[in-house]
């Protein structure tokens, strides 16, 4: 498995008119990162409810993401760790579930635009990929 885990907010930039961020998202996706089923769920929800994409386009996007990522399942153990992370680090439960899945995947870096850049928890470093100097 990869040592990188992607949050849904990074992947969704593939659909952005911001070419710089879309290019970064594509480069990260090409590194065969880890994601969780929750990331797939969030992508589906945003595409359907917010962006109002047709289902055939959502299926195409999901197929491309699945083909380029290792997908980590959500389990009772992931849930239990997410509850502890939410309580200890005061993250939202859904962000905590992303962190728990990333930790359980063995990733060292969680690429997310929505969490505190540079924060380290459970050996996992949160990195906003859009603030990296080479980006």
For the domain covering 4-131, report its CATH number.
Answer: 3.40.50.1010
For the chain, give the number of residues.
135
Burial (CB count <10 Å: 0-12, 13-18, 19+), residue 19: exposed
Q: Is the pLDDT of residue 10 over 80?
A: yes
pLDDT over threshold 50, residue 127: yes
Over residues 64-119, the pLDDT tens digits come to: 999 999 999 999 999 999 999 999 998 999 999 999 999 999 999 999 998 889 99
Quick one: pLDDT band at residue 59, thresholds 50, 70, 90? very high
DSSP labels, 43-58: HHHIIIIIS---HHHH
Q: What is the pLDDT of residues 12-55, one digit of tens each?
A: 999 999 999 999 999 999 999 999 999 999 999 999 999 999 99
What pLDDT was estimated at residue 135? 46
Q: How many Cβ atoms sit within 10 Å of the Cβ of residue 60?
A: 12
Residue 132 confidence (pLDDT) above 80 = no
pLDDT over threshold 70, residue 4: yes
pLDDT band at 134 (very low <50, low <70, confident <90, very high): low
């Amino acid at each position: 498995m990869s040592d990188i885990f992607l949050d849904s907010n990074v992947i969704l930039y593939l659909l952005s008119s911001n070419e710089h961020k879309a290019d970064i998202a594509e480069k990260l996706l090409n590194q065969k990162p880890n994601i969780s089923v929750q990331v797939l769920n969030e992508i589906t929800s945003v595409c359907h409810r917010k962006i109002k994409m047709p289902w055939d386009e959502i299926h195409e996007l999901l197929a491309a993401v699945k083909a380029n990522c290792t997908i980590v399942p959500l389990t009772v153990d992931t849930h239990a760790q997410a509850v502890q992370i939410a309580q200890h680090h005061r993250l939202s439960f859904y962000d905590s579930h992303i962190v728990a899945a990333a930790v359980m995947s063995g990733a060292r870096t969680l690429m997310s635009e929505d969490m505190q850049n540079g924060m380290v928890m459970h050996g996992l470093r949160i990195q906003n990929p859009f603030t990296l100097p080479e980006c």
